[in-house]
Structure 1
Amino acid sequence: MSTIVNLPFDLLQPILIHLHDRRHLSTVALVSRAFNHAVTPLLYRRLDSQVKRNILYHPSATLLKRPELAQYVWHVTETGTVQRFRQVIPNITEDIVAALRLCTNITSATWVDDTLTPEANFLPILDVLMTLPLRELTIRTQYDPGERVWSRLNTIQGIRRLSVWSLEWGPPRVLQGWADLLSSSLTHLELGRCAGVPATILISVFMRLPLLQELCLKGAPSAAIPAIIACLPNLIALDTEYLDSGNYRTPLTPLPRLQRLTVQTGSVDIDGPQKLWTWMRILLPHQQTLKSFTLNAFAVHGQITIPRPFIINLTGRHGKSLQDFAVGVAQLTLETVSYMCSTCPQLTTLECSVASPDVDSIAKAIEAGHNLRTLSLHVSWIPHGRVDLLPQFEKYSESRTMYADSSHLISEGKTSRFTEEHARALMLQTRLRSIGIGDQSYTGRWVHRGCSAEVTQDVGKEDVVLEVVGDPFV
């Protein structure tokens, strides 16, 4: 029988590429000469410089000693933190730059810098990156990289994925002067700091980026979001914030057919930010396009309750296409959960907060979710015999001070936990394989096990059993 050791070389690498842990790859490299030859490009495909516990881990020394390995490097991460080691390694910058010049096949680069001097740290690295066939570039700094860095960045062409996050100081960078050069290539963009930028400037920039498919935009005026995405006919994924400002008008230009929408917001009102629900409906005017809806919301005085009319509108438009619905701790009623499961036949992931008297009520609410695989619920348990409290509990989040949000079931003065038996029963009744309720989480999978020693017939036959493993949240 053929084994993996005897496989042709052309088949080894496509198999070994699924080993994501470098320790496993390093072990496989010792199996044989052929395995070493197949694994070496995978070991050096992604190189990251890191500083952990005041110890520097950087691949430059290895690359300078063995320059033939540089041809395998496709992705690299550099950090300005290495400059803190200049007293110990005086030539650290020169060594890094020299090693980077050897890596002529780099297509993806990440720069991370939380020091006070990102410009001086980044410029030598940027000089090398500008000579490489970059397709992806990520810049994450605590302080603005500076005008000299941006004047050079604005000359780079061919970038397909760009992520820019500068947390403090300096002006927001929204690609003015660079968008024209990126118009024929850029498909994925993250801009982490747009606060204070006029909507007219943002719109003028995005009008030059018609190929965008995925956009993460933080700090932009909410009123401008519909007009911004109207400039992006190919957009399928939007991650943005709702800042509750301005008037919301639907642009005359058709909006793109979003498949994934992620919104982050906060409010002092448990009913949610004013006009949030109307605003999100404006972003989703089409029928049966949305596959994933994520809402990261909080309220200062309790948990936001999602209005049932919004759910009805969302499922009416996208019920047949919706697969993932994750709203964190935002509250839904069990009745609404049941309605979603019955109107969204493709729903595989459901995450929300509910109030329930017992596990049976939850099981009944999701029984129409025939394709559910993942269920994550923040549950507030209502004592049996006090179901009359449920409407008040769902309306007023301050009721949460009465009953703990946990995995404990309160019943006639006795407390029990959401257990592995509960999880197993739900998994056997449904297609769920991951269940998180309160502070308890369980995953299940079907596995083959040999017959127990007590079985006297059909010895050697394997049974298929559901293995359930608990993974409590930390």
Structure 2
Amino acid sequence: MAQLLDIPLELLVDIFNFVLKPHHLAVLCLVNKVFNQFATPFLYRHIYIFPWYKDSKSKVLSLFRTLAECSYLAAYVQTLEIRDFPKRLFSADHSYLSSLCVKSIRQCTNLRSCTWTKDGSLHSDLLRSLSNCQQLQELEINGNSGEYDPLILTQFQNLQKISLIMPSVHVLNVLPTWIKALGATLRSLRLICKASDHVTDELLESLSPDLADLEYLIMFGCRRVTHKGIGALVSANRNGLLAINMEALSPSFDMRVFRALCDRTQAFRRLRSITLTVPANVSVLDWTRDVYDLLSSARLETLQLYSIDMLGDTPVTHDFWQRIIASHGSRLKRISFHRIRADPATLHIICSQCPRLEQLFAVTERRDLEAAASSFSPARNLRTLHINFPLAAGEASMPPVTLMQTALSISSRCSPTLTCVGLNTQVWQVERVVCIDENGEKYTEPTLVPRENPEIPEQFLVGTM
């Protein structure tokens, strides 16, 4: 009988590629020398530290001590995502950890993506080390420059993706020079301001000539940015954006004027993804009509709508969803709407008329959960489903056991392609077990297990920055 160790060694690469949990990869490293040789690169390829990890701050110290002492392990690191960092340290301990971080980064010779978002944890020496990583293409950092010199940012070469979280005025002052220095390599710009006044239309207008090749634009919480600033960026774009996020921008943002500008320039002719916040100070009916017209030339695959407040009295209309699905349903793979309620009839239209739908994030009433569950079965390619149901004032939350049973009931009515299901704050991985009926016929039933993938969807990262 063939044993696992009898298979060709080159197949181990394909097998280990499906192992998601770092703990499981660590166990594989201990099997024997051959497994260690093949599993170790996978173990260190993507490194994540989130605030909710147990002993996350001590893990930071252990991680960077290992990478500093073992250069061959550091060379395996391609993605480094640090969203927590010990700050309350004595001076000597802080200096020691900082030196470990600097040395580790220098040895991460194959680092392609770095995320470092803990406020106050990034300093000039660490930033210089990152700027010397020749393979680095993606950089996401906290923009509070109290501990580092913003001018160091202009030393980064060949970046394709920049993400700045709550950038200070000093960082924004060097942003035009930095973007000009990057030339045509930059493809993605993400600014998360959380109600900052520093990002303005004037800043975006000054950046627009050097962002002509931009493909992805994400703006969040920039409350002084209107249709003028975004319009300048999309008008200067040579090839058309692939994705745009416009969330929590200025109340003065005029969707109708922006739509007319995009129509004239055909700015959205290549657009595949859009994320929008429904403004609180306009007619939702008029706004959705302008959004529909805005997307008339797009080749939409992802549509995400958010509301700052729960839209109860003025929901996004059933007619809007019908028109959107009629125009883009054949291509849509991901639909996400938060704080915007959808009735079972709307969910049925989405699931039955979007044959390529893989991800659905939706909000419905608790009383509609049973009816909504029947709406998901037509989505034959659905892989991820997350349903939020708001609780009325004084209404008790659903017990964890009941919540899991409800999620399992919903999963049983979905396509066998479903691999992840969530209700409110709970998320499970969907696995299928083989059963045999009384006639000896085999069939599968879904079962829910803890989620294995350490990567966290972006919509769940609120509060980790």
Match of 1:130 in 2: 131
Q: Write out per-residue CA displacement over residues 85-119 of structure 1, whole angstroms, 9 at most, x where no aligned residue.
A: 4334754433433343333333333333423xx6x
Match of 1:464 in 2: 443
Match of 2:332 in 1: 322
Distance 1:184 1:64, change over 3 A: same
Matched AA of 1:449: C
Match of 1:413 in 2: none
Distance 1:230 1:406, change over 3 A: farther
1:62 equivalent in alignment to 2:75: no
Match of 2:252 among 245, 255, 259: 245
Q: Give the alignment of 1:221-232 within 5 angstroms.
A: 221-224=225-228, 225-232=230-237
What are structure 2's unaligned runs of at least 5 residues? 451-465
Q: Write out per-residue CA displacement over residues 355-396 of structure 1, whole angstroms, 9 at most, x where no aligned residue.
A: 597667546766765655555555689xxxxxxxxxxxxxxx
Matched AA of 1:228: L
1:277 equivalent in alignment to 2:288: yes
CA distance in 2, matches of 1:291, 1:405: 37
Given that residues 179 and 208 in structure 1 are in contact (C-alpha distance below 8 angstroms), is that contact kept between their aligned partners in structure 2? yes
1:101 equivalent in alignment to 2:106: yes
Displacement of 1:36 in angstroms is 1.4
Displacement of 1:11 in angstroms is 2.8
CA distance in 2, matches of 1:245, 1:191: 19
Matched AA of 1:447: V
Given that residues 264 and 297 in structure 1 are in contact (C-alpha distance below 8 angstroms), is that contact kept between their aligned partners in structure 2? yes
Matched AA of 2:101: I
Q: Once structures 1 and 2 are overlaid, which stretch shifts more, 360-369 or 90-99?
A: 360-369
Given that residues 305 and 331 in structure 1 are in contact (C-alpha distance below 8 angstroms), is that contact kept between their aligned partners in structure 2? yes
Normalised to the residue count of structure 1, the TM-score between the two structures is 0.73
Q: Give the alignment of 1:36-435 within 5 angstroms.
A: 36-46=36-46, 52=55, 55=58, 57-76=61-80, 81=86, 84-88=89-93, 91-115=96-120, 122-141=123-142, 143-145=144-146, 149-166=149-166, 172=172, 175-193=175-193, 195-218=197-220, 219=222, 221-224=225-228, 225-232=230-237, 233-241=239-247, 242-247=249-254, 248-249=257-258, 250-251=260-261, 252-256=264-268, 257-265=270-278, 267=280, 272=284, 276-286=287-297, 289-299=299-309, 302=312, 304-354=314-364, 361-362=371-372, 376-378=386-388, 420=405, 424=409, 427-428=412-413, 433=418
CA distance in 2, matches of 1:439, 1:60: 32
Secondary structure at the counterpart of residue 98 of structure 1? helix
Matched AA of 1:260: S
Secondary structure at the counterpart of residue 175 of structure 2? coil
Match of 1:25 in 2: 25
Which of 1 and 2 has greater Rg?
1
Given that residues 47 and 59 in structure 1 are in contact (C-alpha distance below 8 angstroms), is that contact kept between their aligned partners in structure 2? no
CA distance in 2, matches of 1:267, 1:132: 44
Q: Once structures 1 and 2 are overlaid, which stretch shifts more, 87-96 or 315-324?
A: 87-96
Distance 1:315 1:132, change over 3 A: same
CA distance in 2, matches of 1:441, 1:99: 34
Normalised to the residue count of structure 2, the TM-score between the two structures is 0.75
Given that residues 325 and 350 in structure 2 are in contact (C-alpha distance below 8 angstroms), is that contact kept between their aligned partners in structure 1? yes
Match of 2:16 in 1: 16
Secondary structure at the counterpart of residue 197 of structure 1? strand
Q: Once structures 1 and 2 are overlaid, which stretch shifts more, 322-331 or 335-344?
A: 335-344
Secondary structure at the counterpart of residue 66 of structure 2? helix
Given that residues 329 and 353 in structure 2 are in contact (C-alpha distance below 8 angstroms), is that contact kept between their aligned partners in structure 1? yes
Given that residues 412 and 446 in structure 2 are in contact (C-alpha distance below 8 angstroms), is that contact kept between their aligned partners in structure 1? no
Given that residues 174 and 202 in structure 1 are in contact (C-alpha distance below 8 angstroms), is that contact kept between their aligned partners in structure 2? no
Q: Write out per-residue CA displacement over residues 317-353 of structure 1, whole angstroms, 9 at most, x where no aligned residue.
A: 2122223222123123444444444543434444434
- Identify, as 1 or 2, the structure richer in helix: 2
Displacement of 1:159 in angstroms is 0.6
Matched AA of 2:156: I
Secondary structure at the counterpart of residue 286 of structure 1? coil
Secondary structure at the counterpart of residue 126 of structure 2? helix
CA distance in 2, matches of 1:441, 1:45: 25
Displacement of 1:54 in angstroms is 5.9
Displacement of 1:468 in angstroms is 4.3
CA distance in 2, matches of 1:429, 1:89: 51
Distance 1:266 1:405, change over 3 A: farther
Q: Once structures 1 and 2 are overlaid, which stretch shifts more, 21-30 or 55-64?
A: 55-64
Given that residues 358 and 384 in structure 2 are in contact (C-alpha distance below 8 angstroms), is that contact kept between their aligned partners in structure 1? yes
State the structure with bigger RCO (CA 8 A, min sep 6), 1 or 2. Answer: 2
Matched AA of 2:125: P
Secondary structure at the counterpart of residue 166 of structure 2? strand
Distance 1:96 1:421, change over 3 A: closer
Aligned length: 429
Match of 1:387 in 2: none
Q: Once structures 1 and 2 are overlaid, which stretch shifts more, 9-18 or 151-160?
A: 9-18
Displacement of 1:267 in angstroms is 2.6
What are structure 1's unaligned runs of at least 5 residues? 382-399, 409-416
Q: Aligned-residue CA RMSD in angstroms?
A: 4.2
Distance 1:68 1:443, change over 3 A: closer
Match of 1:449 in 2: 435
Displacement of 1:297 in angstroms is 1.0
Matched AA of 2:215: Q
Given that residues 50 and 57 in structure 1 are in contact (C-alpha distance below 8 angstroms), is that contact kept between their aligned partners in structure 2? no
Displacement of 1:422 in angstroms is 9.7
Quote the sequence identity (%): 21
Displacement of 1:292 in angstroms is 1.6
Match of 2:3 in 1: 3
